[in-house]
Structures are given as C-alpha cells and as structure tokens.
Structure 1
Amino acid sequence: MQERFDDAALAIFVRLTIGVRDERGDVPGWVMVTVMSAAVVAVLIPMAKDQLGDMMDNAMAMVTGSAAE
C-alpha cells in the first residue's frame, strides 16, 4: 500500500516539475515583449506629450466638475 502511494506521489511530483520547467523556457519571449513595449512607450511619449497632457487635463476637469459646458 505504501509503495503504491509513493509511486503516485512521485508521478504527481514529476508532472508538476516538468510543467514548471516547460513554462520557464518561455521567459525570453516575455522579456522581449516587455522590452519592446517599453521601447514603443519611450518613442511615443515625446511625440504625444502635449496631446496626452491635454487629455489628462480634460479628464481631470470632467471628474472634478470644473469642465466648461
């Protein structure tokens, strides 16, 4: 009985361990997506700084109720 339990526990451990190893292989892909997203933001912010500021001012004015009607 104990041997069957040990075999089952070992099988579960192996399945869980292999699953973790497979997911770790995709880390470079996520790093690339993150770096590329940061690069896009870094390029777009200087070009759209004024428009983003105006949008933020308008949104805050609408929330606070000081927007011109």
Structure 2
Amino acid sequence: MKGQRGYVVWARRPLAGLFQRVCRWYAMHGERQVLAQMSDDSLKDMGLTRADVEQERRRHVWNDPLGK
C-alpha cells in the first residue's frame, strides 16, 4: 500500500534523523571553530568581520540557520 511505504522505511532506520542532526551539529561546530581561528585578513577576504564570526560562534547548537 502506498500510505505504508514511508512508515516501513522509517521503521528500518529509526535513528537516521538523530544521526543526521548530530552530523550536522558536528560539522557546524567545526566550521565555527575554524572561522574563529582565522586571521582578520582572511576573514576580510571572505567578506566577514570579527563581529560576524563571534555572532555565529555564540549561536546555540540547536539553532540551525538553514532550518533543516
């Protein structure tokens, strides 16, 4: 039946969504740390300021800017 197919897929991988969120958090955390360690000249080349980086670094883990 068409309506049950999504349920069956979900039942096979019940932790897939949690795993994806953890992976996304880990990637964002690493990117934020790299940005925080960059020099001001490197940030300027990318069009960012130190204030932009600090604002992003202080963002809560559960605050996903892309809303995924």
Q: Shorter-chain TM-score: which interval?
A: 0.3 to 0.5
TM-score, structure 1 normalization: 0.47
Is the helix fraction higher in 1 or 2?
A: 1
Greater C-alpha radius of gyration: 1
Which is bigger in relative contact order (C-alpha 8 A, separation at least 6)? Answer: 2
